[in-house]
Chain A
Amino acid sequence: MRNLLPVIFVPLLLLGCEPAPEAQQLAAVASKEAPLVVYSARKEHLIKPLFDRFTEQTGIAVSYITDSSGPLLARLQAEGKSTPADMLITVDAGNLWQAQKVGVLSPINSPILTTNVPAHLRDPNDSWFALTIRARTIVYASDRVDPAAELSSYEALGEPQWRGRLCLRSSKKVYNQSLVATMIAAQGEFATEAVVSGWVANLAMDPFANDSKVMEAIAAGQCDVGIVNTYYYGRLIKQQPELALALFWPNQLGEGAAGRGTHINISGAGVTAHSRQKARAQQLLEWLSEEPAQLMLMELNREAAVNPRVAPLPDMLAWGVFKADAVAVSEAGRLQVDAVKLMDRAGYR
């Protein structure tokens, strides 16, 4: 045992002199009040710069933990009234909708937020608000596909001409679940299931684990089209500008479902039902929807601002302007379970 102890204790002793965690230091500098506590499914490198700026400007300290949505929601529910959390930040309408449904969010009456966040991008009861918009669109091999002649809509990718030419990400990713949920909202389950079955029949390869792999497969000539979030495209093209890949905005023309616009998803936030400092939490939420924070959000992850007065960044404008699907994003949340079951039935893995 004497020989065992050093193995474990040496690192402990070397590092044992633990100074106060940074969150506490920040809090001590910024204010004597308790810091705002945020549970975030957005990752640290995408939120910390914002919180730092907020603390600088208002003197209100923010501490946070990051995790995926499911565990954070389970923790909020389990903690109930004694939760330390004042705000939940998460990605995807489905997760926000679920958080509202289980009652961990509190409705907010804020003219600032209702001005800055369009109605279809927030909860019908104003329990949550979108912060950023991410478009999920079609990417194609620009050397093999003529977009004007061949591409039109998500639905058209299920037609026989694309047999063996389509690459998709796994249906286990929430982005695809939301996309299919809004398809159900636009044209019903029956038509949507036919489309998804068409996609599965057209797949060139087994679905991929992420959007980047979809684009790499198209660039390597394994398939000709795919569906990805724009910021993954932005990131890949920045690293490898020589790739023959281009974006196409689907569902721009025509009446009804065919011309409903390109699918968008959101990241968003809400004040928790049992927050003890709702006013300050609301202040943070409002601050996040204003121009300076919205600009930072765009720059951090190449997503579009939710605030209509904030213009897209130049490199995002270069992808072209598009009409976005105006369906309430809460619909995507409501229909997500149906979408998952539908994709399972269609054999989309």
Chain B
Amino acid sequence: MLAVLLALAPIVLLLLSWRFDQSDIWAHLLATQLPTLLRNTLVLVVGVGVGVSLLGVALAWLTAMCEFPGRRFFDWALMLPLAVPAYVLGFAALGIFDFSGPLQQSLQGLLGERYQFVDVRGEVMVVAVMVLVLYPYVYMLSRSAFLAQSSDVIEAARILGLGRWGVFCKVELPMARPAIVAGVSLALMETLADFGTVAVFNYDTFTTAIYKSWFALFNLQAAAQLASVLLLFVALALAGERYSRGRRSFVQSVRRQRRQRLLLPQPQAFAASAFCALILLLAFISPLLQLLHWAVGEGLDALNSRYFALLKHTLLLGGAAALTTVMVALMLAFNRRRAAPHLRVFFDLGTLGYALPGSVLAVGLMLCFALLDREVIAPLQGALGLVSAPVLLGSVGALVVAYCIRFLAVASGPVQASLERIGDNIPEAAASLGAKRWRLLRHIYLPMLRPGLLTAAVLVLVDVMKEMPATLLLRPFGWDTLAVRVYEMTSEGEWQRAALPALTLVVVGLVPVVLALRQSSAGR
């Protein structure tokens, strides 16, 4: 309850911005760019939504349900793009496909004067980059949903005469729906909040208007009003999905499964391997090689003790935030499950913050902490005869709370999706056998929820490591992270020097992904 209230605080602050009349800014934006921005945003959301759904579900189904050469490798490798920050892929893609990049330069070398350079910074490229970076959300969530699906149901469907395609459409896909929707919502919320990637392509979206109002027109109030409009749309979309889901239940048997993977015949198996390899190449290997190329060109002088301090801070903050956020998400999910259906909406509100542009949420949180420091802690310090100084702002604790609020949606998705698969009968049976609350949690829920919790922890850990705006604004003195270093270099246009920290970020991000995979496959 407290967690939800805390998560809602920045949103309430946003709404308070409507006290001020900013109609001149609105009139200006409406007259000059808002129609284009809305159109661009719509294109981006639809494109990314369709893209991540198709790609994420297809890949998850292939690796979870079928057997083809290299499946074991792709099973975990396809999650790796998660560790690549979106703007890094954007910049690497531009570096490769731009007219000064190797591809177009060699084309010109081949064709000579007849070759016309192509400006690749179009809508297609923006959507493609976002899809390649964000599909792992859908992939990871639907993969664990497919893996958890009861083979009894699938076998029953086959016996009743459904073909392979029929089973997929009528049984497997609908059963995985909560997980798929959770993944797609995460991807879309991140798309709406993104500023860095679209800026690389000079593609203006609604978020561009938010930043323009704040940074260029010096009007934080107008920016907050724009951001709250954005949130309204997200809330409506999420509510719509919940409504259309109706009263369907997604409870499944959790009997140990003896899964018989579908053995793909020769040409199809080859196509599946090639497809997975292509995606991996585009989304992970090519940006990695580009970063490596830059990092080697720049030399490794930066690898000193300060550099390892960055690494340490990154891991400490990421680990603490992952642990806290998953615990909070689990608590929320339990409370939400017990709450009356009409109250459940309240819990969903707490996760809306993920759709806010990072800087806007960070400032909202900063204002909350500053308010607490000023109105609660400073008088307290005064009463105790201490020098009043900000305690929350610029403390590790506040930063972890900020991460928790920002990434609650990320953790809630997998946790809730896996909780929905557990019916009431098992906990009830255990309770009737005398299991008390903690025993129930420890011996029933946690083992059954483990894949979901692991997914949530990895997602949060990797996201926190990549996070910039909140880290920048709320970090204690000296607590720079790898993402901070990447920001400092890229904002000065020094992409070559940003390559080493970015590369480290990707490599370090791999560790939890791989570890979690080991854990989740060990149980099977």
Contacts and interface: CB of A to CB of B under 8 A. Distances in A.
Interface string B106-122: 00000000000101010
A217 B200 CA distance: 15
B366 A220 contact: no
A344 B33 contact: yes
A54 interface: no
Given A78-B366, A220-B100, A65 B215 contact: no
B476 interface: yes
Interface stretch (B155-163, B225-233, B449-457): B449-457
B65 interface: no
Interface string A1-29: 10110111101100110100111100000
A1 B442 contact: yes
B390 A82 contact: yes
Interface stretch (A66-74, A122-130, A148-156, A288-296): A66-74
A273 B285 CA distance: 50
Interface stretch (B169-177, B276-284, B418-426, B477-485): B477-485
A209 to B, nearest CB: 5
Contacts of B371: 78
B519 A37 contact: no
B202 A170 contact: yes
- Which label, helix, strand, loop or mixed, suits the secondary structure of the B interface? helix
Interface string B471-495: 0110111111000110011011100
A98 B522 CA distance: 57
Interface residues of B, number: 82
B205 interface: no
A68 B215 contact: yes
A41 B473 CA distance: 11
A15 B315 contact: yes
Contacts of B323: 8
Interface in A56-115: 63-72, 74-75, 78-80, 82-84, 94, 98
Nearest to B458: A7
A84 B121 CA distance: 43
Contacts, number: 183
B488 A66 contact: yes
B450 A349 contact: no
B466 to A, nearest CB: 16
A170 B327 CA distance: 43
Interface stretch (B138-146, B216-224, B234-242, B344-352): B216-224
Residue from B373, B475, B491 with most neighbouring chain A CB atoms (10 Å)? B491
Interface stretch (A254-262, A314-322, A333-341): A333-341
User: Which of A12, A79, A82, A217 gathers most chain B CB within 10 Å?
Assistant: A82
Contact of B199 (A24, A172, A341): A172
B215 A3 contact: no
B220 A74 contact: yes
A7 B516 contact: yes
Contact of B316 (A15, A23, A66, A84): A15
Contacts of A45: 488-489, 497
Interface string A300-342: 0100000000000000000000000000000000001100110
Nearest to B369: A78
A344 B204 CA distance: 12
Contacts of A337: 216-218
Contacts of A78: 366-367, 370-371, 393
A211 B491 CA distance: 12
Contacts of A80: 370, 374
Contact of B454 (A7, A207, A216, A217): A7
A228 to B, nearest CB: 11
Contacts of A98: 218
Given A7-B458, A71-B366, A82-B374, 7 more contacts: A4-B519, A6-B515, A16-B316, A65-B477, A70-B215, A206-B119, A340-B217
Interface of B: 28-29, 31-33, 98-100, 117, 119, 121, 199-202, 204, 208, 211-212, 214-218, 220, 306, 309, 312, 315-316, 318-320, 322-323, 359, 362-363, 366-367, 370-371, 373-374, 378, 388-390, 393-394, 442, 446, 450, 453-454, 457-458, 461, 469, 472-473, 475-480, 484-485, 488-489, 491-493, 497, 511-512, 515-516, 519, 522-523
